[in-house]
A = this chain, B = another copy of it.
Amino acid sequence: MTIETLTETRSHGGTQGVYSHASTETGTDMTFAAFVPDHEPGETLPVLWYLSGLTCTHANVMEKGEYRAACAKHGIAFIAPDTSPRGDDVPDAPDEYDFGKGAGFYVDAVCHPWSKHYRMRSYIESELPAVIAKEFPINMQRQSITGHSMGGHGALTIGLRNAGRYRSISAFSPIVAPSHVPWGQKAFARYLGDDRQVWREYDAIALIEDGARHDNILIDQGTSDNFLEEQLQTYRLSSACKETGIPAVIRMQDGYDHSYFFISTFMADHIEWHARKLHDKD
């Protein structure tokens, strides 16, 4: 298990790197971005995972996410994985932006031909954390997770399934109930098959219905997001949290859309909130 450094660039008093490694889960090379603030020799830093949305790679948030100043201020590393396996050998649906490459939906696919490479759940939950722990100055006892849209779905489901690992979960305009909306129904039917019982592990609302809990959840959702009504349906998460007593903070942000113009606006706020958990201040 070795990683290749593609680029390392000084930014905001730290190092913004892009790295590649051979993944056994996906059977491909996988690329990720990591920002590591300057730190003392031997010091390890808490980490915030950021899972990206449909069509994105590691690069979108790295270029547009405006996270480095806040991460440097709070001494937090920031890891941004890719959203799917890549490469000529990986099956794809090239005419569909919401399925195949760029649209892994953070599941371990079970249906042919997707099951061989599309194993983003295990990649994000297990393989990549082991790489990070080995190669970077990270304190793996201090992890939090966030994400955008499909990546907000990833952050919520991975966070809820591994509540003890992540001190806090946040999301920007997440898909909260993929089983109930077109993006999720399309992807799950093809990656996971028709048995909706299997889908429940990948649906934040179903996980909560089935008993998953977390005490630190923060959501920001723009009211002018074109996907809010059909694909995101934030109200379902509000209802599920109310019914189960999960003290989630769900904020509707007036006039904001689904883009990085929205994400970047609230990124520093999310990082500060995670930092309080990661540094034992809350």
Residues of A within 8 A of B (CB): 9-13, 16, 63-64, 66, 68-69, 222, 224, 255-257, 259-262, 264-265, 268
Whether B13 contacts A265 by the Cβ 8 Å rule is: yes
C-alpha spacing A264/B63, complex, angstroms:
10
- Chain B nearest CB from A64 CB (Å) reads 5
- Chain B nearest CB from A108 CB (Å) reads 33
Partner of A265 from the list B11, B262, B268 (CB cut-off 8 Å) is B11
Whether A9 contacts B259 by the Cβ 8 Å rule is: yes
Residue of A12, A63, A256, A261 with most partner-chain B CB within 10 A: A261
C-alpha spacing A69/B268, complex, angstroms:
10
Whether A9 contacts B268 by the Cβ 8 Å rule is: no
Whether A262 contacts B10 by the Cβ 8 Å rule is: yes
- Chain B nearest CB from A263 CB (Å) reads 10
CB-CB nearest 6 A-B residue pairs: A11-B261, A10-B255, A9-B261, A12-B265, A10-B256, A66-B66
Whether A10 contacts B66 by the Cβ 8 Å rule is: no
C-alpha spacing A11/B222, complex, angstroms:
11
Whether B69 contacts A66 by the Cβ 8 Å rule is: yes
Q: Chain A contact residues: over half helix, strand or loop, or mixed?
A: mixed
Nearest opposing residue in chain B for A259, CB measure:
B9
- Chain B nearest CB from A210 CB (Å) reads 37
Instruction: List 15 additional A-B contacts (Cβ < 8 Å) besides A10-B261, A16-B261, A68-B264.
Output: A9-B259, A9-B261, A10-B224, A10-B256, A10-B262, A11-B256, A11-B265, A13-B265, A63-B63, A63-B260, A64-B64, A66-B66, A66-B264, A69-B265, A69-B268
Residues of B with C-beta under 8 A to A64:
63-64
C-alpha spacing A64/B12, complex, angstroms:
13
Residues of B with C-beta under 8 A to A265:
10-13, 68-69
Nearest opposing residue in chain B for A72, CB measure:
B265
Residues of B with C-beta under 8 A to A224:
10
Q: A68-B264, A69-B268, A264-B68 are in contact. Are A257 and B63 (CB under 8 A)?
A: no
C-alpha spacing A255/B8, complex, angstroms:
11
- Chain B nearest CB from A191 CB (Å) reads 31
Nearest opposing residue in chain B for A9, CB measure:
B261
Residues of B with C-beta under 8 A to A260:
63
- Chain B nearest CB from A92 CB (Å) reads 26
C-alpha spacing A9/B224, complex, angstroms:
10
Residues of B with C-beta under 8 A to A255:
10
